[in-house]
Amino acid sequence: MTFTELKLIKPLLTALDKKGYKEPSPIQQQSIPHILLGKDIFGCAQTGTGKTAAFALPILQLMDANRKPNQRREIKALILAPTRELATQISENFKEYGENLGFKHAVIFGGVSQFHQVVSIKTGIDVLIATPGRLLDLMQQGIIKLGSVEYFVLDEADRMLDMGFINDMKKVIAKLPVKRQTLFFSATAAPNIMKLANTILKNPVSVAVNPVSSTATLVKQTVYFVQKTKKPALLKHILKENNINHVLVFTRTKHGADKVAKALNGFNIKAEAIHGNKSQNNRERALKGFKDRTINVLVATDIASRGIDVDKLTHVINYEIPEQAEAYVHRIGRTGRAGESGEAISLCSHEELPYFKGIQKLIKKDIDVIKKHPYS
Ligand code: AMP
């Protein structure tokens, strides 16, 4: 299938061509036709499946079709995302896909001064991408009004609930026009997610790709069993031995992320940690360095990793095994994305064995054990 067959308009096709996308991903194939027909969507898809384009492209197209002459700029599309990284990423996508359409967008999130965000909103925007807390804050100050919203997207709804945004979300939703199109995306369809979805969607079409219990088949998965204290040396060995110079490394805690980055720097490997205790500037710098490849290893906690969007990630390393098996699936979803192959390597200590077993059970698959290594 091609993007043309999805009946996308020329300005979007040109932008997609520039991005080098050859064909729509499964979530795009399944969602775009329904969204263009005005349907609500319940989309079960995780990051890495192309879900951002799956909602951004048809929204831009609908906004273009519904343009009225001499209309004042007001917020017609609202996208709620759980983290600033994800919000920023979505905003970059809107910019790229919409570059030939002339719409304006703004992105707002907490943890930084509201000044520049308010200035950009006051100039008039068509699309607003926001994290719930800052949005609510600016709504309460009377700076943002949502009365003209026609398209509402809730992205990574599962993560929003995990992060405790439910009340903020409900307050925002209460201010939206009842007549609107709502697109709801979540990596899981757990009961609490379904309950929330049922309260805000009207006759939704359900689409699903990569259910959370089946990991992307293109991702090669291996594990090294190793003592906890030997992990830094083993990590260095793995990076050198396999010539890996662009990799996302996961830890369970912020402190762990800092420690790993420091250990790697001690081995003369360029690494940075990214997590919630770092300032926004710091995080953006680390992310930019990683994208520019001046930093080879980005060490992240699970929450910080959500929404980090980097093209062609060939490797992810689980330096620590996550307690929640689903987190493993999210982590390795960062590689082998959009049809490319990838590799996920896990370092598992004796204490982590129960978590590891939980993962194998969830993904219904034995992960290959690398037996021969200097620290076994
Ligand atoms: P997302 O799941 O929205 O975070 O997208 C994951 C990655 O896939 C991003 O880097 C996108 O730029 C990329 N992507 C999205 N759609 C396509 C496509 N149809 N072909 C190739 N890459 C894509």
Question: 332-368, pLDDT tens digit by residue?
Answer: 877 765 556 689 999 999 999 999 999 988 887 789 9
Write out pLDDT tens, residues 233-290: 999 999 999 999 999 999 999 999 999 999 999 999 999 999 878 887 888 899 899 9
Q: pTM to 2 decimals?
A: 0.65
CB 55 within 8 A of CB 31: yes
Among protein residues, the one with the nearest Cα to ligand 1's atom 11 is 50
What values do phi and psi take at 269, rounded to 5?
A: -110, 130
Q: 89-93, 124-128, 139-143, 278-282: lowest mean pLDDT where? A: 278-282
Cα–Cα separations (whole angstroms), residue 253 to 213, 302, 319, 370 = 24, 8, 11, 25
Q: Among residues 158, 215, 217, which one has the least CA distance to residue 188? A: 158
User: Comparing C-alpha atoms, which of 217, 81, 262 is closest to residue 160?
Assistant: 81
Nearest protein Cα to ligand 1, atom 19: 24
Report the chain's mean pLDDT, rounded to a whole number: 91
Report whether pLDDT(164) > 50.
yes
List, chain by chain if needed, residues with CB within 6 Å of any ligand 1 atom.
21, 24-25, 28, 47-53, 309, 311, 337-338
221 within 8 A of 332, measured Cβ to Cβ: yes
Top mutation candidate among 6, 13, 18, 21 for ligand 1, by most atoms within 8 Å of CB: 21
Residue 188 has pLDDT above 90, yes or no: no
CA of 240 to the centre of ligand 1 (A): 29
- Name the pLDDT band for 169 (thresholds 50, 70, 90): very high
Which distant-in-sequence residues (6+ apart) come within 8 Å of 131 by Cβ?
Answer: 80, 81, 82, 83, 84, 87, 108, 109, 110
Number of helices (H), then strands (E), in the chain: 15, 14
Residue 16 has pLDDT above 80, yes or no: yes
Q: Work out the pLDDT band at 213, boundaries 50, 70, 90.
A: very low
The domain 219-369 having CATH identifier 1.10.10.10: the answer here is no
Residue 226 has pLDDT above 70, yes or no: yes
Domain 4-208 has CATH 3.40.50.300: yes
Residue 180 has pLDDT above 50, yes or no: yes
Q: In this predicted structure, what is the pLDDT of residue 47?
A: 77
Ligand 1: which atom is nearest the Cα of residue 46? 2
Nearest CA to ligand 1 atom 6: 48
Largest CA distance in the chain: 70
User: How far, in Å, from the CA of 34 to the mean position of ligand 1?
Assistant: 19
Which of 26-40, 159-173, 197-211 has the weakest average pLDDT? Answer: 197-211
Distance 149 CA to ligand 1 centre (A): 26
Best substitution site from 29, 49, 91 to test ligand 1's pocket, by max atoms within 8 Å of Cβ? 49
What sign for the dihedral angle of Cα 134, 140, 144, 148? positive
Question: Using one digit for the tens of pLDDT, what is the confidence trace for 28-77?
Answer: 999 999 999 999 999 998 777 889 999 999 999 999 999 988 888 999 99
214 pLDDT higher than 80? no
Q: Where in the chain is the domain with CATH 3.40.50.300?
A: 4-208, 219-369
The pLDDT of 14-31, averaged and rounded, is 93
Mean pLDDT, range 134-148, rounded to an integer: 96
